[in-house]
Chain A
Amino acid sequence: MPPLLKTINVVKEYDLGDVKIQALRGVSVEVNKGEFLAIVGKSGSGKSTLMHIMGLLDTPTSGEVIMNEINVTNYKEKDLARIRNKEIGFVFQSFNLLPRTSALDNVILPLKYSDVPRNTWRKKAEDMLNMVDLGNRMNNKSNELSGGQKQRVAIARALVNEPSIIFADEPTGNLDSKTGREITDLFSRLNEQGKTIILVTHDEDLAKIAKRQIIIKDGLLNGE
């Protein structure tokens, strides 16, 4: 089976005027459907840059990004937005929920940018919130939720459009260890249900929950 997502020799340079910084210096990764992959690296290693490029939030300076056998490297902003909406779910370290907005409306947000019919939005969002055990907090505003609850809302939001890949960027970074474990358990469970998950972290212990780890160092792949 061809890989779901592939990067070929991806380079990312940042031009800071006088100096050019190479965040990625030729990284090739393949992710298969149903995989649970951890990208591990210290701060400044380039792991987040790699995640952003794989998640189509950013474009590489050179190299290619192939998704479902389609080269999407030179896709226009509008097309990339559509793929992000349909195929990719994001979970961020700082949750990134809309403030003063209910959990339900936060989960509905990606659906608003999709072609999913409006009359199904609520049901889908409710199902997702039930799945992350927040069925009883749907109408609470995001600022009325605990950190763990916020992250579960974010996970529900990442899942609601039934994407093929979920990217999680330090998803337990802002949580205490107990809550963090609940979140990692949730990711494991989702992977068991067949979801492809890419976890980005500096925490090698956390990375162990993934079935496969790749290590990024100084912008290069430094072993699996």
Chain B
Amino acid sequence: MNFLEIFRSSILSLRANKVRTFLTMLGVIIGVFAVLSLVSLVRGVQNFVTDQFSALGSNLILVAPGRVGFDQDPGLAFANNKLTAENVDRINRDASQYIIGATPNMRLGKTIQYKTKRYLASLVGTNSNFLSITDLEIDYGRAFTKEEEITDAKVLVLGPDVKNELFGNRNPIGEKVKVGDTYMEVIGVLTSKGFNADERVIAPYTTLQKVFNTKNISGITIKAKDSDSIDKAMTEIEIALLQDLKDDEFTVLSQKDILSSIQSILSILSVGIGSVAAISLIVGGIGIMNIMLVSVTERIREIGLRKALGATSMTIGIQFLLESIMISIVGGSIGIFLGFAAAFAAQSFVRAEVPLWAVLLSFLFSVLTGVIFGTYPAIQASKKEPIEALRYE
């Protein structure tokens, strides 16, 4: 019997038990689907983070309070926050050769209210340089001035999402909105940048310090002149900050460093999650072995008959092995299809994508599952003596 005929016999046997074949396949389908959908979801999160970072601007350097590292409690770092606006002034002075500008950064989650409408926005305090440092642009109206920064003017610039939510199509310029207990005037609206950048509301940090009675800032954002200046700028910033702070009271990070460490964490996470999901593939494989062993017993007379009619042990073994491999290949393919479908469905939330390595790996793994877990039943089937098999009741 040539290989093609054994292949046809396997297909006929699988088709003769459609429901059982499908149920056996289900383990592999779910396994491959789980691997692909989880990996693509993590990939989506990775894309999201990258997009977020790119939306911040380019050639950025960030100063965070405390020592940032895996051995430090980030909560503690913020609690002992020593960063102040004076540090920003010093950076602007001392590192001016390599930087475009530095701005304090304050972040507060606050409800903005206009008449009866409320919106929980990310309230960001910066100085009047923020347009040149971040990639933000004014759609209409204007940004606040140095003057307004110094005088703690109660003005703010709305992100497009905030504006749409509170004002709809109306022009908000000149309107007063309530932030906490304070009324502030809307002077501008930002151009849409996508993602949560659009949910921001920007105000002078001096105003926020006064209104919310806080002196500290959450961090400092600095834009280097170009990518070649980043390293030199970071050194200068560090030297400037050391004049007022101890070296464990701040950390200077480049945007690139942060992004690459997040990327590497997410990559490890994606492999980790993929591996956990791969366990379900092993369970699926055990399912295949189970059913194939039952099938060997159930079809023992068929095995005897085939042998009586001229099948060799090898032919019988290959037929059974092919049956389990086909279950795993078809199951794997359906799983891949569903994985792509899930990634597509998730598009509205994150930019999920199915990486090629995950497709190839999970397919290979599912085929291997069929081979590994199909071998034992196939050997069992091939070893049946024709007489024993024909006598079996």
Contacts and interface: CB of A to CB of B under 8 A. Distances in A.
Interface of A: 52, 55, 57-58, 77-78, 81-82, 84-86, 90, 92, 96, 98-101, 105, 109-110, 112-114, 118, 157, 161
Contact of A92 (B302, B313, B314, B390): B390
Interface stretch (B52-60, B289-297, B304-312, B368-376): B304-312
A114 B301 CA distance: 20
A84 B310 contact: yes
Given A99-B16, A100-B16, A112 B9 contact: yes
A113 B315 contact: yes
Contacts of B306: 109, 113
A84 B308 contact: yes
Contacts of A101: 12, 16
Contacts of B304: 96
A207 to B, nearest CB: 22
A96 B305 contact: yes
B312 A77 contact: yes
Contacts of B1: 112-113
Residue with the greatest number of chain B CB neighbours at <10 A, chosen from A78, A98, A110: A98
Nearest to B315: A113
Nearest to A160: B309
Contacts of B12: 101, 105
Interface of B: 1, 5, 9, 12, 16, 301-302, 304-315, 385-387, 390
Contacts of A58: 385-387
Contact of A96 (B16, B301, B312, B385): B301
Contact of B310 (A52, A99, A105, A114): A114
A102 to B, nearest CB: 10
A163 B311 CA distance: 16
Given A57-B386, A98-B302, A90 B308 contact: yes
Q: What 7 A-B pairs have minimum CB-CB distances, sorted nearest first?
A: A85-B310, A113-B310, A110-B309, A100-B16, A81-B312, A96-B305, A57-B386
Residue with the greatest number of chain B CB neighbours at <10 A, chosen from A78, A110, A113, A161: A113
Given A84-B308, A113-B306, 17 more contacts: A52-B387, A57-B307, A57-B387, A57-B390, A58-B385, A58-B387, A77-B313, A81-B310, A81-B311, A84-B307, A85-B309, A85-B310, A98-B305, A100-B16, A113-B310, A113-B315, A157-B309
B16 A78 contact: no
B219 to A, nearest CB: 71
Nearest to A167: B308
Given A57-B308, A90-B308, A101-B16, A96 B390 contact: yes
Contact of B309 (A52, A77, A109): A109
25 contacts: A55-B308, A57-B387, A77-B312, A81-B312, A84-B308, A84-B309, A84-B310, A85-B310, A90-B309, A96-B305, A96-B390, A98-B302, A98-B305, A99-B16, A100-B16, A101-B12, A105-B12, A110-B310, A112-B1, A112-B5, A112-B9, A113-B306, A113-B309, A113-B315, A161-B310
Contacts of A92: 390
B387 A82 contact: no
A43 to B, nearest CB: 13
A172 to B, nearest CB: 18
Nearest to A85: B310
B314 to A, nearest CB: 8
Nearest to B385: A58
Contacts of B313: 77
Contacts of B309: 84-85, 90, 109-110, 113, 157
B334 to A, nearest CB: 24
Contacts of A109: 306, 309
Nearest to B17: A100
